[in-house]
Structure 1
């Protein structure tokens, strides 16, 4: 099994076999680039925050406020994650203040926009639903109907990135 397949370990064997065949025939990147020919232009943290807030305001207007949305170069290495949602609760007198932050792995600066959207939706959903349970995935699918396909495609994007690094 190719080491890059670690990104899709929990998927059905048929999907893993299809991806393995594409890797072996050196066609995964070709397939991926055909499906997603363009990368997004959301490069600055200000642009990422505005992009995230637009999605939040459309689907989760009444949820806790978001204080930050940034790209983080350390996420992938440290947490073996694609993005992180962090929150801190502070008590000021008799008021409780929650600070929500979203961090997206820097590798997604070069990703197609639908994959960035999937990550943002995933992390926004954690503002309301902390666990990866049925309610969490229902919220993700409400905000992004093809959420599950995009999650798989984000993992395929990571495999393509790793294969490209091996070639370099």
Structure 2
């Protein structure tokens, strides 16, 4: 069976769960499991489509949060750096005033992923508009916007494990 240390994306989960995943990997069943649960990738491939998708969540759950000046897929975000998306506040001096702009960048890896995984990343980054730290209030907000947030986060970690082991399992949608 695969050693849990070979599973960095789920290293903080209970050992028995890591062993179950290791067994699925050994039996070459992880991709089939993911495809059974999430059969296809979404079709939001452009930055405009991503922006519309993000704004639908923001307008539904975070109407009073500050505006987002930029929402894009980003090829420079790498999972290796423990980032799947980034929320940043860019401050600039304009006419003697300090203006800040909120930006959300989503790893391009999620152009070819199930909508559920993209939703999880979007909700995570939007929650940072109200809660900067990963604290209890932050995760409560994530769950408010996406009730199955924790399950989707775990499944997304399985997906990242699958990518590391054998490459992507979803193709670009037509």
TM beyond 0.5: yes
Q: Provide the residue aligned with 2:117 in structure 1.
A: 115
Q: Deviations over 1:113-144 (max 9, x none)?
A: 01100000000001110000001001000100
Shift of 1:17: 1.1
Q: Displacement, 1:38?
A: 1.1
For 1:83-98, list aligned pairs within 5 A. 83-92=85-94, 96-98=98-100
1:148 equivalent to 2:150? Answer: yes
Instruction: Give unmatched runs, 5+ long, in structure 2.
Output: 169-174
User: Unpaired segments of 5 or more residues in structure 1?
Assistant: none
Picking from 45, 52, 55, the partner of 1:53 is 55
Q: Deviations over 1:56-105 (max 9, x none)?
A: 00000000111111111221156331111111233445754321111111
Q: Which residue in 1 is equivalent to 2:26?
A: 24
SS for the counterpart of 1:10 is: coil
- Secondary structure of the residue aligned to 1:29 is helix
* Cα-to-partner distance string for 1:27-54 (whole Å, 9 max, x where unaligned): 0001110000011000001100110011
Question: Relative to structure 2, which stretch is displaced further, 81-90 or 21-30?
Answer: 81-90
Larger helix proportion of the pair: 1
SS of residue in 1 equivalent to 2:78 = helix
TM-score by length of 2: 0.88
How many pairs are equivalent?
166
Tell me, in whole angstroms, the C-alpha distance in 1 between the residues paired with 2:4 and 2:136: 31
Please identify, of 72-81 and 127-136, the stretch whose mean Cα deviation from structure 2 is larger.
72-81
CA RMSD, 1 decimal: 1.8
Alignment check: 8 A CA contact 1:82 1:119 kept: yes
Aligned equivalent of 2:172 = none
Work out the CA distance in 1 between the residues paired with 2:10 and 2:57.
Answer: 27
